Amino acid sequence: MKPNYQPKTYFITGIDTDCGKTIVTGIIAKFLKKSGIHLTTQKLVQTGCEGISEDILKHREIMEEPLSVFDKDGTTCPIVYSYPASPHLAAEIDKMPIDLKKIEKASEKLEASYDRILLEGAGGLMVPLTRDLLTIDWIQQKNCPVILVTSAKLGSINHTLMSLEIIKNRRIELAGVIYNHYPAHSSLILEDSVKIFRNYLKENFKSVPLVEVPVLENGQVPIVNCQKIFR
C-alpha cells in the first residue's frame, strides 16, 4: 500500500446485531463533519424497513442535517427489504434478489460526490448477502478498510476477538475498533474488556486504535474524537 494512500470508503461492521453500528456510524460522521470533511454515510442493505432506510434516517438525525438528494433517491441505500432478517433471506421473502451491481454503482456515485463515505453493513462479518456470498467476502472484494464496533454486552469479548481473528486471517485492513459502552451494566466488565481488547490489538494490529464511545445521556450524542482511525 502506498504511504499516501487515502481510502474513500470505510466499512463499518459490528460483532452482532444491535451492538450500536448505526449510532456509532452517525457519531463518527458527526465528528468528521465538524472536522470539515465533506462526507456522507451509506447503508449496504437495509432489512425490516420500507422506503428510506431507517438507519440512514438515524445517521442524519445524529449528524443534525436534512436528507440529501442521494438519500431521497435511494443512492445511500439502494436495497431495502421489508422482512427483518439476514439479507439473503429477506431477499427471498420479498422475491427481490439482491442486486450487487446496483450497490456498486451507488457507491461509485457517492465516491464521486464526497471525500469520505462511511458504509454501514447489516449485522456482522459473517452475515450472508446471498446464499453464496458472505459480507466479509464482499468486503474483501472491495478492499475496504474496516471499523469494527463492539459493545459492553455480555459475550462481547468472545464475539469481538472472533471477529478480529477473522479480519486478521482474511488479511483485511482494520482501521479501528469502536468500543460502545452501552449498556454499561458493570464498570468492572467494561474496564476489563477494554484491557483485553487493547492487549489483543497491541499483539495483532499494532497501530490500530481503540476508541471508546460513552453511553448517551438524555439522548445527547457525544462528540467522540475518531481522528486516529483515519489517516
Q: Give the C-alpha separation, 149 to 176, whole Å.
A: 9
- The confidence band for 3, taking pLDDT boundaries of 50, 70 and 90, is very low
Reported as a single tens digit per residue, the pLDDT across 45-75 is 999 999 999 999 999 999 999 999 999 999 9
Reported as a single tens digit per residue, the pLDDT across 114-153 is 999 999 999 999 999 999 999 999 999 999 999 999 998 8
In a domain, 3, yes or no: no
Number of domains into which the chain is organized: 1
Q: Please give the positions annotated as active site.
A: 43
In a domain, 1, yes or no: no
In a domain, 2, yes or no: no
CATH number of the structural domain spanning residue 78:
3.40.50.300
> Does pTM surpass 0.85?
yes
Return the amino acid letter for 157: I
| Residue 52: partners with Cβ closer than 8 Å, 6 or more residues away | 67, 71, 72, 74, 77, 80
- 3-state secondary structure at position 127: coil
In a domain, 21, yes or no: yes
- The parent domain of residue 187 ranges over 9-229
Retrieve residue 177's grid coordinates.
475498533
